Amino acid sequence: MITIDYKDRRPIYEQIVSSIEDLAVRGVLEPDSQLPSVRQLAVELSINPNTIQRAYSQLEKTGVIYSVKGKGNFVAADPKRLREEKMEQILQEMEKLLRQALALGAGKEKMEHWLHSLLETEEGGNKA
């Protein structure tokens, strides 16, 4: 479910946030499904419970999860909104990278080639 990459430059809590967001957006975590307790996830990942609590707090602030006092943390019921927000973030990142590529002299044909190569690789990988 959630894996920690100790070579990743992002803090561990950010990796947890990203993993849970991704699982929710892709529908792996269904709306209103309960997340593991802070203590349980900390044991599973062998990390400090404060790190899990920080990730859960961040996820609650952004509306990915909600907490019920005495019951735990649950996936928010609106993954469509979350998916749309993620797609908007991706678009903004793509625009930034495309502008950088243009500034470095990459033309339309080069960028189209990159896109087609990536799509062919992904489509080939999905068939396997």
pLDDT tens digits for range 35-45: 999 999 999 99
Asked whether residue 44 falls in the same domain as residue 99, the answer is no
Asked whether residue 68 falls in the same domain as residue 111, the answer is no
- Residue 79 is predicted with a pLDDT of 67
Decide if pLDDT at 68 tops 90. yes
Rounded to whole angstroms, the Cα distance separating 98 from 57 reads 33
Asked whether residue 38 falls in the same domain as residue 64, the answer is yes
CB–CB of 77/16 below 8 Å?
no
Tokens of 86: 């993620």
Asked whether residue 71 falls in the same domain as residue 85, the answer is no
73 occurs within a structural domain: yes
Asked whether residue 16 falls in the same domain as residue 43, the answer is yes
Which structural domain range is residue 39 located in? 12-77
Average pLDDT of every residue of the chain:
90
Q: How many domains does the chain have?
A: 2
